[in-house]
Amino acid sequence: MRLYSLLAAAKINLYLEIMGHRRDGFHELVMVMQSVDLADRVTVRSLPSSEIRVQCDHPLVPQDATNLAHRAAALMAAKYPQAHHHHGGVEISIEKQIPVGAGLAGGSANAAAVLVGLDMLWQLGLTQGELQTLGAELGSDVPFCIGGGTAIATGRGEQLDSLPSPPNLYAVLGKYQSLSVSTPWAYGTYRQQFEATYLQGDEAHSRRRQALHSGPMVSAIAHQDSPALGKALYNDLEKVVLPAHPAVADLKAAMVAAGGLGTLMSGSGPTVFTLTTTREAAETIQEQVRDRLADPDLALWVTRFSSTGVQLTA
Ligand code: C5P
């Protein structure tokens, strides 16, 4: 087979706590990540030449070597030069459904799909652990995006512990289409404002990690307790993104007023989500928020928790 078509799922953060500095300049995090069924389609196709090509139907996605999906293929070619030589280059086509610069790991999901797709195209037989190690070289969210589901992510976000299946929830996602937030900006601004509160030392970080493992979010997931899960939603980055973007704070307020189980900004934003137990409740909230804010720039999606990251499709 010279072509594989994959679905690459978006993620939301049910929990994101910034613990402190890391020696590599990144932040030490404790997060709970959840895949949702909003997904991009990524097709990888062998080329007779050794070239790596990316094409995408979204105007804001670069089609050159700066695209994370292109970097994923270049990394595979560098690690497995014989397979690259033997099977040739690759054309990567990305059909975008996941909004860009949204805090939903769309770019990371695309890169994860390229790793999985090239593993199959080049018949490498890599394990999920090996793919995750490669993914961590590309970005902190890439390892999670490979397997998806529900996981605790620590370290930079690349250290994963899978969690039991959460309750079957729906997430209404809302994002102003013209607004995106730069992740380095969000973390950099957080550092400027909250550095004094950072936990110091590996031991303090490890105690906090342990606390999350036995904390309300993980307990709500383990007990399939949807109301408790809604109450345990938390994201430190809201403290910098909401004040800088009042429209996002207003969107969050509108979602809270619509009465879901709980409402949160995902990752570095600006996507905000609210959780419900049924599709009907999610669609009602979607309509209420659309009517209340009445802004054509606001896009809303009803999604469902998903147990997969990258998935082969027909
Ligand atoms: O790993 P990724 O490329 O997605 O990270 C994007 C940016 O987010 C980093 O350059 C850094 O500024 C910030 N970041 C961080 N600590 C993390 C993850 C990301 O400071 N654990």
Using one digit for the tens of pLDDT, what is the confidence trace for 102-128?
Answer: 999 999 999 999 999 999 999 999 999
Q: Thinking of the domain 170-304, which architecture would CATH place it in?
A: 2-Layer Sandwich (3.30)
Same fold across 3-164 and 170-304: no
Helix 68-79 with 128-136: angle, nearest 10 deg: 120
Q: Whose CA is nearest to atom 12 of ligand 1?
A: 184
Put simply, whether the predicted model's pTM sits higher than 0.85 gets the answer yes
SS3 of 66, please?
A: coil
Question: Which residue in 259, 253, 250, 257 sits closest to 281, CA to CA?
Answer: 259
Polymer length in residues for the chain: 314
Q: Which of 37, 40, 119, 141 is catalytic?
A: 141
* CA of 187 relative to ligand 1 center, distance in Å: 7
Is the beta carbon of 143 within 6 A of some atom in ligand 1?
Answer: no
Higher pLDDT: 262 or 60? It is 262
Q: Please say if the pLDDT value at position 2 is more than 90.
A: no
Res 279 pLDDT > 90:
yes
Catalytic residue among 11, 119, 175, 252: 11
- Model pLDDT for residues 49-105, shown as the tens digit of each residue: 999 999 999 998 999 999 999 999 999 999 999 999 999 999 999 999 999 999 999
Residue closest by Cα to atom 7 of ligand 1: 184
Q: Return the pLDDT at 1.
A: 55
Q: Report the percent of the chain where pLDDT is more than 70.
A: 100
For the chain, domain boundaries = 3-164, 170-304
User: From ligand 1's centre to the CA of 184, what distance in Å?
Assistant: 6
pLDDT in tens, 204-232: 999 999 999 999 999 999 999 999 999 99
Angle between helices 106-121 and 128-136 (to 10 degrees): 130
Mean per-residue pLDDT of the chain: 97
Give yes or no: 175 in active site.
no
Helices assigned H by DSSP within the chain: 68-79, 81-87, 106-121, 128-136, 142-147, 183-194, 202-213, 216-222, 226-231, 238-244, 246-258, 279-293
**CA–CA distance from 124 to each of 21, 73, 177, 268, 273 (Å)?**
36, 13, 39, 34, 38
- In DSSP notation, 167-213 reads ---EEEEEEETT----HHHHHHHHHHHHGGG---SHHHHHHHHHHHH
In this prediction, residue 123 carries a pLDDT of 96
Q: What is the CATH number of domain 3-164?
A: 3.30.230.10
Q: Select from 166, 204, 209 the least CA-distant residue to 17.
A: 209
* Helix boundaries (H) for 238-306: 238-244, 246-258, 279-293
Tens of pLDDT, residue by residue over 231-258, are: 999 999 999 999 999 999 999 999 999 9
* 11 counts as catalytic: yes
Q: Residue 183 Cα, ligand 1 centroid: separation in angstroms?
A: 7
Q: Is the C-beta atom of 189 inside 6 A of ligand 1?
A: no
Looking at this protein, which amino acid is placed at residue 120? M
Q: Is 187 in the pocket of ligand 1 (CB under 6 A)?
A: yes
